[in-house]
């Protein structure tokens, strides 16, 4: 069981819930008490007629419009309806699950003035896998992800649409929200004061996509080292560049880690031993020699972004915040800007740039593998019957295309801003755009690394009976269980797809790591 307290949720927790590996999620007793304390304050202020943004006033530029007490409930429902203005393809189910979880955790901090029943509604829908249909475009990422979260919250009230799982796990059916809620036995939520605003003011779309992208990026960092080790063996490279003394002289943490990791992966390589005494080469090309510096810098970036995301997913990100005093009998409401997505926008842009570099350097190693002038004796395009067969020639084209696409996607979204709400909201982060671009970059990087693995395994085959390092050897065996040696031309797309599937999810990396650690 995962207990939400608004303080200790991890990125791994988010990934598990998004994959449906964890479905029993509840709010902790202490968090529930905090939620109830802040709710009592909202009820008290509403009863006394106090003016509070978004509770007894309109929203955005309408903050100067007072709302009569008898219209407060309608105000909250109207907020969800008017702000559900998203367009584009719906967010993937794993992203919506993460959003439901993250919104519940943010509300569990007890700073939002929402009723406990509203948080429980989020968790019930998550447990039933009743997922609001949320268009992916429409957030400018500063008053939170207003449009996406409005679609999420509107579904909680029985309006909008919800997707339910079908008999085939790959298929889902979309129904009007009130019908879907009835099927899973969850009553529609009737909003009270502050609750619509509390549900939609936040960064949960960009946080959800960011957490899942970061989780995959960490796997890709390990996968890139493994792919590089296979290329190292296939290209008969030297391991001098991984010597710990080099990296102690420039002690970036990621660089030192990758240098050690590479030595572990190529340890015991018969291929390396075979040319130790008669190799005329003094040093390898940068794509091999500088693996620790490039891969290590990516790891340092991942570490930074993980700190940002870990803080964000355990933060209160709506407005106004309700802060009870120590006794819980009184408190304050504070109007601020914790919903602004700038911390995430910058970090997610940074991660997209960094993770793109894993693909950039990987494609260069793939080029060396297939280029007869650079491959240190491997047959051109890694085919034994060149001319009649083109071998892996076009696999490198595909890697090049994906790398070029990533260069466009890595342009930062956070440098842009367009004012909204009559210039009341005059600086916007575009964090949701950064997140969506990052998600595409991560997918592309996985395919580029799969292509390098495909070419590396093919190259190692031409050097038999010599064996590669123990990490490369284990990776080679796992690859050959899915994709046989390319003796005659065949549909390479299928081979790449099989390796993307093999390396997605972490088990491939784990099996190789168990051999070398």
**Residues tagged active-site:** 53
State the Cα–Cα distance between residues 202 and 20, nearest whole angstrom.
23
Closest CA to 92 of 352, 500, 439: 439
Angle between helices 204-234 and 291-312 (to 10 degrees): 160
Start-to-end CA span in the chain (Å): 31
Burial environment of residue 307 by CB neighbours within 10 A (0 to 12, 13 to 18, 19 or more): exposed
* Residues 160/216, Cβ–Cβ less than 8 Å: no
Contact 165, 184 (CB under 8 A): no
The SS3 of residue 326 is coil
Other Cβ atoms closer than 10 A to 421: 17
Dihedral sign, Cα of residue 220, residue 221, residue 226, residue 232: positive
Contacts of 205 (CB under 8 A, 6+ apart): 91, 95, 99, 134, 139, 145, 148, 149, 432, 435
Q: What beta strand segments (E) does 91-211 contain?
A: 131-132, 135-137, 161-165, 172-176
Buried b / exposed e over 102-121, threshold 16 CB at 10 Å, is: bbbbbbbbbbbbbbbebbbb
The count of other CB atoms within 10 Å of the CB of residue 510 is 11
What does the DSSP 8-state code read for residue 330? -
Rg (Cα) of the chain, in Å, rounded? 26
Q: What's the Cα-to-Cα distance from 235 to each of 217, 225, 371, 378, 381, rounded to whole Å?
A: 26, 15, 11, 8, 13
For residue 10, the number of C-alpha atoms closer than 13 Å in the C-beta half-sphere is 6
CA 324 – CA 111 distance, rounded (Å) = 8
- CA nearest neighbour of 458 among 510, 414, 393: 393
Cβ 159 vs Cβ 177: under 8 Å: yes
DSSP H or E stretch at residue 87: strand 87-90
Pairing label, strands 2-4, 25-27 = parallel
* Residue pair 302/258 in contact by the 8 Å Cβ criterion: no
Q: 367, 453 in Cβ contact below 8 A?
A: no
């Amino acid at each position: 069981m995962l207990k939400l307290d608004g303080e200790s949720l991890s990125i791994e927790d988010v990934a598990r819930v998004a994959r449906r590996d964890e479905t029993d999620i509840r709010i902790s007793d202490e968090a529930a008490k905090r939620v109830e304390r802040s709710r009592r304050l909202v009820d008290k202020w509403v009863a006394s007629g106090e003016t509070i943004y978004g509770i007894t006033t309109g929203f955005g530029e309408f903050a100067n419009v007072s709302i009569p007490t008898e219209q407060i409930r309608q105000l909250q429902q109207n907020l969800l309806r008017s702000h559900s203005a998203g367009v584009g393809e719906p967010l993937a189910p794993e992203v919506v699950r993460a959003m439901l979880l993250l919104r519940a955790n943010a509300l569990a901090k007890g700073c939002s003035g929402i009723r406990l029943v509203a948080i429980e509604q989020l968790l019930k829908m998550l447990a039933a896998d009743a997922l609001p249909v949320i268009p992916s475009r429409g957030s400018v990422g500063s008053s939170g992800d207003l449009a996406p979260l409005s679609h999420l919250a509107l579904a909680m009230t029985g309006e909008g649409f919800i997707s339910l799982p079908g008999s085939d796990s790959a298929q889902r059916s979309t129904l009007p929200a009130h019908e879907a809620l009835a099927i899973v036995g969850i009553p529609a939520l009737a909003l009270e004061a502050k609750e619509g605003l509390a549900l939609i003011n936040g960064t949960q779309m960009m946080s959800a996509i960011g957490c899942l992208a970061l989780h995959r990026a960490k796997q890709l960092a390990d996968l890139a080292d493994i792919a590089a080790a296979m290329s190292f063996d296939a290209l008969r490279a030297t391991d001098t560049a991984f010597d710990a003394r080099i990296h102690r002289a420039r002690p970036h943490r990621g660089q030192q880690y990758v240098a050690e990791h590479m030595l572990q992966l190529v340890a015991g390589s018969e291929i390396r031993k075979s040319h130790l005494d008669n190799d005329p080469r003094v040093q390898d090309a940068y794509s091999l020699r500088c693996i620790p510096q490039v891969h290590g810098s990516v790891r340092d970036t991942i570490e930074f972004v993980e700190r940002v995301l870990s803080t964000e997913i355990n933060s209160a990100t709506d407005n106004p915040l309700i802060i009870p005093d120590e006794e819980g009998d009184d408190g304050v409401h504070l109007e601020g800007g914790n919903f602004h997505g700038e911390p995430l926008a910058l970090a997610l842009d940074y991660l997209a740039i960094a993770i793109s570099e894993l693909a950039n350097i990987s494609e260069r190693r793939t080029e060396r593998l297939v280029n007869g002038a650079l491959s240190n004796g491997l047959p051109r395009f890694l085919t034994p019957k060149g001319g009649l067969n083109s071998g892996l020639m076009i696999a490198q084209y595909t890697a090049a295309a994906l790398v070029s696409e990533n260069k466009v996607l890595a342009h930062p979204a956070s440098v842009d801003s367009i004012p909204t709400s009559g210039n009341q909201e005059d600086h916007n982060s575009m964090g949701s755009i950064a997140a969506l671009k990052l998600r595409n970059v991560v997918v592309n990087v996985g395919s580029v690394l799969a292509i390098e693995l495909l070419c590396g395994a093919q190259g190692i085959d031409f050097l038999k009976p010599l064996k590669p390092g123990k990490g490369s050897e284990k990776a080679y065996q796992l690859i050959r269980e899915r994709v046989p040696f390319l003796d005659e031309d065949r549909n390479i797309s299928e081979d790449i797809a099989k390796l993307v599937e093999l390396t997605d999810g972490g088990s491939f990396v784990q099996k190789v790591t168990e051999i070398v650690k």
